Amino acid sequence: MTLRLHNTMTRSAEPFAPLAPPHVSVYTCGPTVYNYAHIGNFRTFLFEDMLRRWLEASGYRVFHVMNLTDVDDKTINGALKAEVSLAEHTARFIAAFHEDREYLRILPAHVYPRATEYVAPMIAMVESLLEKGVAYKGDDGSVYFAIAKFPGYGKLSRLDTRELQAGAGGRTSADEYDKADARDFVLWKAARAEDEQVGAAWDAPFGRGRPGWHLECSAMALDLIGKELDAEVLDIHAGGIDLVFPHHEDEIAQSCAHTGRDEFARVWMHGEFLTMSGTKMSKRFGNILTARDLREEGVDAGTVRLLFATTHYRAPLDFTDQALDAAREGSRRLGAFGARLAAAGAGGSSPSLDAVAAELDTAFTEAMNDDLNAPRALAALFDAVREGNRLLDAGESPGPSLQAVWSRTTDVLQVLPLASGPRVVTMADARDGLEESGGDSDWAVAWAGRRLAAKHARDWPEADRIRDLLTTAGWEVRDRKDGSAEVVRAAG
């Protein structure tokens, strides 16, 4: 049962073969921290989290790098609009990203390099490309990569450069652009007054300015895997499907031209879009739903992760309230079975339940090794629940085998509801800024505190409204004689 992963470069699923097993280097393109990341972004981050969890469950030692883009067109424009420095503007959204990541149970990367902290390696890379003759300084003072000097340009996105329409001067200084507009891309942007205003300009031998978006990932990835693994080629590079061109195509060109290697990453993996009513989720279309929106509504992370697991990461997924409700019920069912296993203890086991464990282990492993086929893996979990409940109802004992397999499989998918005992609530917990809470249990405590405050003010309609809100989100509030309350996950 060899792990096979779909490689965008070859458009096929291939046996995974890291350069130096059991070590695996994984670079994933992180958020551009100019605003809150929406759940379309997090669909990509969650598929990458599942990839890492499965690699580690399979015995690999993963070195995971996720960059934080804190200097580009969007972050600079955001800082200008907010009338603050670039560092001040991005710090807020970096903190928000980590709060949302923790809420969704995404493992922290081993390193989160910020582009502004790696300007020196970026300058060194531009110097290397200038020396090799694949980059040049434009009449506008910026430095560009000459795609005509790199014969392999376009191989990831299957782009035929002969059919491209070159614009004025054959260059683009924009960080993002359309496939039909591909031309020499910017490596280093000459400083503008706006860049200086927000602190987004650095001195370099080829002129004061700031790095282009594509340069950032290459320089950070090569610097970090060089120090950690003494390597110049990544095992896996992953991101959203929208990054294939131009971002990843440009990364390949500048990285390979710099190192002299034939490849920048052995495997390129890309997750499909999350849509709402069939339209790609984006700030441009104004159909944004953020992770903190879901957290404020009391949606458990297990529900979100189960919803995403029902569709393969390479297939589009349409987000609807009906799909979310179905995922909530599915997560509840899985959680109830997990609680039943835990309550049964680790005593003697029955051959029938051992067979359920073995079948789950095999089916789950085969599914995940088939390019992370989460829908099939999820189906194996529900099959085990159905048969396991039948045997437990008949008085059989699960024993340690089923419990071990259950823990292993659910740890990879993370689709169980949050398990927590009662939390005591007082009016001091009635805090504002619920979107800043650390998880949905904190969200419930904050609302339960508000309910106590409403009761103290004899605002009974508001107290009832909050109780209904918590009940709908799967929480139960129990009033105590001392005037406090307990909030706990509703049973069943």
CATH no. for residue 50? 3.40.50.620
Hey, what's the torsion of the CAs at 430, 433, 439, 445, to 10 degrees?
Answer: 10
Q: Cα-flanking dihedrals φ and ψ of residue 349, to 5°?
A: -115, 160
Answer with the one of 365, 390, 413 that is the final residue of a domain. 413
What integer pLDDT is reported at residue 172 of this predicted model? 83
> Region 63-86: what's the mean pLDDT?
97
**167 in the same domain as 66:** yes
**Residue 418 falls inside a structural domain:** no
In a domain, 285, yes or no: no
In a domain, 219, yes or no: yes
pTM over 0.85: no
**CB half-sphere exposure, 413, CA atoms < 13 A:** 38
Residues 173 and 258 in one domain: yes
Residues 342 and 362 in one domain: yes
Residues 6+ apart with CB under 8 A from 198: 76, 79, 80, 84, 85, 86, 89
In a domain, 290, yes or no: no
Domain membership of residue 470 (yes or no) is: yes
Is residue 23 situated within a structural domain? yes
**Tally of domains within the chain:** 3
Looking at the fold, whether 339 and 469 belong to one and the same domain comes out as no
Residue 43 lies in a domain: yes
Q: pLDDT value at position 104?
A: 95
Residues 257 and 305 in one domain: no
Q: Is the sign of the CA dihedral 173, 177, 181, 182 positive or negative?
A: positive
| Nearest to 391, CA basis, from 347, 435, 357 | 357
Domain end call among 223, 248, 280: 280
Both 303 and 254 in a single domain?
A: no
Tens-place pLDDT, residues 221-274: 999 999 999 999 999 999 999 999 999 999 999 999 999 999 999 999 999 999
Are both 402 and 427 inside the same structural domain?
A: no
Tokens for 215? 């340069």
Supply the angle between the helices 249-259 and 119-131 in degrees, to the nearest 10.
Answer: 70
Q: Is pLDDT at 165 greater than 60 in this prediction?
A: no
- Tell me which residue range forms the domain holding 319: 299-413
Asked whether residue 168 carries a pLDDT value surpassing 50, the answer given is no
As a whole-number percent, the residues of the chain with pLDDT over 90 amount to 68
Among 353, 360, 414, CA closest to 389: 353
Q: Phi and psi at residue 5, in whole multiples of 5°?
A: -125, 140
Query: Residues 398, 436: one domain?
Result: no
Same domain, 457 and 380: no
Query: What gap in Å lies between CA 56 and CA 344, rounded to an integer?
Result: 28
Q: Are residues 267 and 314 in the same domain?
A: no
Residues 173 and 95 in one domain: yes
Q: Residue 130 domain-assigned?
A: yes
For residue 426, CA distances in Å to 110, 347, 373, 447, 465 come to 38, 40, 45, 11, 18
264 and 308 housed in the same domain: no
Domain stops at, among 378, 413, 448? 413
